[in-house]
Amino acid sequence: MADLLSITFAALADPTRRAILARLTHGPATINELAEPFDMTLPSVSRHVKVLEEAGLVSKAREAQFRSCRLETLPLEAADSWLAEYRQFFSERFDRLEEQIKAMMAERAKDNPKQGEG
């Protein structure tokens, strides 16, 4: 069986599934509500929701006669924690790059003082 991160990223690889998750950030929704913005059949949207459900990103609950889908954040939190290491790595690299550019600009200004002043 694949690990949680692999399953999460595989589910997130599809733009329709990402759009469904984005919709669910506003609260629970039925399959019909989730299907509204898409030009696809209800069974197709249901298959996308099933992938999200299998990845643990969505859960279904029965409310009266409706089955609503709800966003589950645990897999996203795990992915965010994993990505945090890389954000830190790139942040440090960008900070060093910024320092290098500032040093190069200061050196250029020193070597090429403005002409025509005075």
Amino acid 67 reads R
In a domain, 15, yes or no: yes
In a domain, 33, yes or no: yes
In a domain, 88, yes or no: no
In a domain, 81, yes or no: no
Domain that holds residue 8: 4-72
* pLDDT tens across the length of the chain (118 residues): 468 899 999 999 999 999 999 999 999 999 999 999 999 999 999 999 999 999 999 999 887 777 899 999 999 999 999 898 888 777 777 778 888 888 888 888 888 876 545 4
Output the six-digit token pair for 8.
Answer: 């999460």
pLDDT given at position 89: 79
Q: Which residue has the tokens 């600009």?
A: 105
Please say whether the dihedral angle defined by the alpha carbons of residues 107, 113, 114 and 115, taken in this order, is positive or negative.
negative
Three-state DSSP class for 48? Answer: helix
Cβ-contact 85, 79 below 8 angstroms:
no
In a domain, 102, yes or no: no
pLDDT given at position 99: 84
In a domain, 10, yes or no: yes
Cβ-contact 49, 61 below 8 angstroms:
no
Cβ-contact 52, 9 below 8 angstroms:
no
CATH number of the domain at 22, please. 1.10.10.10
In a domain, 95, yes or no: no
pLDDT given at position 59: 96
Q: Which residue has the tokens 């998750």?
A: 21
Domain count, the chain: 1
